[in-house]
Amino acid sequence: MPSNERRYVIRLGCPDRTGIVARISGFLADAGGWIVEAAYHTDPATNWFFTRQEVRADSIGFGVDELRERFAAVAGELSPAADWSVIDTGVRRRVVILVSKEGHCLYDLLGRVHSGELDVDVRAVVGNHADLAPITRAHGIPFHHVPFPADPDGKAAAFAELRDLVDAHTPDAIVLARFMQVVPAQLCADWAGRALNIHHSFLPSFIGARPYHQAHKRGVKLIGATCHYVTADLDQGPIVEQNVIRVGHADSVADMVRKGRDIEKVVLARGLRAHLEGRILLHGNKTVVF
């Protein structure tokens, strides 16, 4: 089947019990749904069931709004605690990217968008420095410069301006592409499940600032990067994607930074793609990635 075929992506998480798969399959069969991808998982530690289904949109005789309305009733039958969503792949997903001075992650994402590899609508890039404005505008994307003063009142005002700029686009994803600012707890809550960060370390090791310096001091043999959802607990949000690269005793901090940047770009792109394709189901501080 063509990769650009329009599909509806149905995701559900709920307490596990018998009959869930049969109920969902029956619902889709009754609607004429042609399932092209299906995945299931149960976490025995929490007794929580997860599923993700992709259905050909042209196989269902009604629109996505009605599908959501009908599936809401099914999810409610399965459990009042059910967490579910329906994504229409025919609607381009909206993204806002937050940056600072380092541009490698932004360059990579913009390149993937420009080549068509990542089919998203980047609505804006917001930076607390203006260094990355030229490359952003060269791609025809608006750039907003929001300086972040050191004093608490000035920083709070900057985050309020940032929030207004981001929320104006109702983005499906807010990407912290080496943004290097600690997001306030309330903003973390408001953007929960949408804000993705790339941390230049294989979490949970070396949380916080200067992780490559921490890694070099410890003499590690592997360094990595972690894409995770942003929460009020610094660098401790649910992990989406990770990868590592080997380093040696002769590598300087600068060598680690250079090697680590390659990993950061790939990990962030993979994590963002998984999020936008609806492949990530959250439960507590853990993720299931189908």
Edge-to-edge strands, sheet with 121-127: 143-145, 121-127, 94-99, 173-176, 195-199, 222-229, 239-246
Tell me the torsion sign for CA atoms 256, 258, 261, 266: negative
CB-based contact 289:274 (threshold 8 Å): yes
pLDDT, tens digit, for every residue of 239-280? 999 999 999 899 899 998 899 899 999 999 999 999 999 999
Pairing of strands 143-145, 173-176: unpaired
Across the chain, mean pLDDT equals 94
- Answer whether 7-88 and 94-289 agree in fold: no
- pLDDT more than 70, % of the chain: 99
| pLDDT over threshold 70, residue 2 | no
Confidence of residue 1 (pLDDT cuts 50, 70, 90): very low
Q: Which fold has domain 7-88?
A: Alpha-Beta Plaits (3.30.70)
pLDDT digit string (tens) for 18-74? 999 999 999 999 999 999 999 999 999 999 999 999 999 999 999 999 999 999 999
Going by C-alpha positions, the residue among 111, 115, 139, 97 that lies closest to residue 266 is 111
User: What's residue 3's pLDDT?
Assistant: 56
Q: For residue range 158-209, what is the model confidence (pLDDT) as tens digits?
A: 999 999 999 999 999 999 999 989 999 999 999 999 999 999 887 777 777 7
Q: What pLDDT does 123 receive?
A: 98
Q: Spell out the domain ranges in the chain.
A: 7-88, 94-289
Q: What is the pLDDT of residues 61-119, one digit of tens each?
A: 999 999 999 999 999 999 999 999 999 999 999 999 999 999 999 999 999 999 999 99
pLDDT value at position 137?
A: 98
Residues with a catalytic annotation lie at: 235
What is 94-289's CATH number? 3.40.50.170
